[in-house]
Each structure stands twice: as C-alpha cells, then as structure tokens.
A and B are shown apart, each in its own frame.
Chain A
Amino acid sequence: DTGVSQDPRHKITKRGQNVTFRCDPISEHNRLYWYRQTLGQGPEFLTYFQNEAQLEKSRLLSDRFSAERPKGSFSTLEIQRTEQGDSAMYLCASSLDDPNYGYTFGSGTRLTVV
C-alpha cells in the first residue's frame, strides 16, 4: 500500500458541468476525509466517513456537492453544476479512529472551472 491516491490530479471544466473525483485511502484506515484548499489558505474540512457511513458534513458542502464511500473503501466527491468559485485543490485524507493519529493526505485534485 503506497498511501492515499487521488484521481485525477488536474481537472479543467466548463462552468455548469458536473465533475467527479476519486480517492483511494490506505486500506487499514477506516476514516476518510475530504478537504478543500483555496490559494493562500489552509485546507478546510468538507466531510468525513467512518467505513461507509458519512458522519459529518461541513456547511461549506452545498447541495451541489455529494460524497460517497459505498463499500467503505474508495470514495468519490461529485460537484454538480460547477461554478467558478469551486476552483480549488480538493484533498483527500485517511486515518485511524485514534485522536493521537494524524491524517495521511493524497496529492490532491486541482479543479479549475472556466
């Protein structure tokens, strides 16, 4: 297991189109998280899963955003009807259910909405 994988690395889309990102976490990690990072800012929490259950969603996650982790392994993040304000780096991370354990992040998907 080589870490957290995200696909694609880069995505350019036209405003109004739908996009979907994929994240493959470290296999032993039962928790999976999605973050969004805009230029010059730290990552902001979007949502997280424990196994297949989505346990928390940020207010940042509008109705156009949906995330799934159907079998408790990989996860997808879909953005419908993209807007220019959605342009950002989308980071996925995984971890164990241990407060003293850090997150392992993927390389991120950089989304540009034109």
Chain B
Amino acid sequence: AQKITQTQPGMFVQEKEAVTLDCTYDTSDPSYGLFWYKQPSSGEMIFLIYQGSYDQQNATEGRYSLNFQKARKSANLVISASQLGDSAMYFCAMREKSYNTDKLIFGTGTRLQVFP
C-alpha cells in the first residue's frame, strides 16, 4: 500500500524567507503522481503543485517548487519569499490508481506559520 509521511507537525518562517516542507512516500508502482495542497483555516483544499514520477525536472509553480529526489522517495515543497498569507496547513499526497481503486493518499500535514 502507498504511504505518505510528513514528519514536521509545525514550521515557522519569517516573511520573505524561504521554507522547505518535507514529504517522503512509499510505493511499489513505477508510475505515480505526487501533489501538494494548501488548506487555510477556511477548510478548502487548494492544489499547489504536481510532480510525475517520470518527470525529468523538478516542478515549479510561481513561488512553489518541488524538490523531487526519486531514489530517496522524497518530494519536498519549497516556498520562496514567504508571505503572511502562506500561513496554513500543507498536505502532501499521492494518487493511488489501479483497476480497482482510485484515491489520493494524504500525509498528516504540516502547519506553516509565517511571522512578520
């Protein structure tokens, strides 16, 4: 079974600094997709960035980038130039899809707090 591990329950970062949120995963599938979501206090899950297992380059989306190290099975999210509005829960997830299942498996999340 696939598994996502996020070992940082909480992180603090000063405004305008960069921060890395850790994510490791476990799967036996050669093809998989990794996702990061942001969940503000309002509750909505907001898609941030995607990395495919066969992608040669690390994904980037604006201030978000994914440090993908396939051999180490890690997919860390890097947020550059942090803003106060980045304060939220961040979840790493993997899509488990086969002939008899289709679900996103989530980690336990990291609460990021950005201070002035």
Contact = CB atoms under 8 A, between A and B. Distances in A.
Contacts, number: 68
Interface string B101-114: 11111111100000
Contact of A106 (B33, B44, B50): B44
A107 B39 CA distance: 10
19 contacts: A31-B102, A33-B103, A42-B91, A42-B106, A42-B107, A42-B109, A45-B103, A45-B104, A45-B105, A55-B102, A56-B101, A93-B45, A100-B33, A100-B52, A102-B95, A103-B47, A104-B47, A105-B46, A107-B44
| 5 smallest beta-carbon distances between A and B, as pairs | A42-B106, A105-B45, A45-B103, A99-B97, A107-B44
Given A42-B109, A107-B43, A48 B50 contact: no
Interface residues of B, number: 28
Interface of A: 31, 33, 40-45, 48, 55-56, 89, 91, 93, 97, 99-108, 110
Nearest to B108: A42
B47 A108 contact: no
Contacts of A103: 35, 45, 47, 104
A40 B10 CA distance: 11
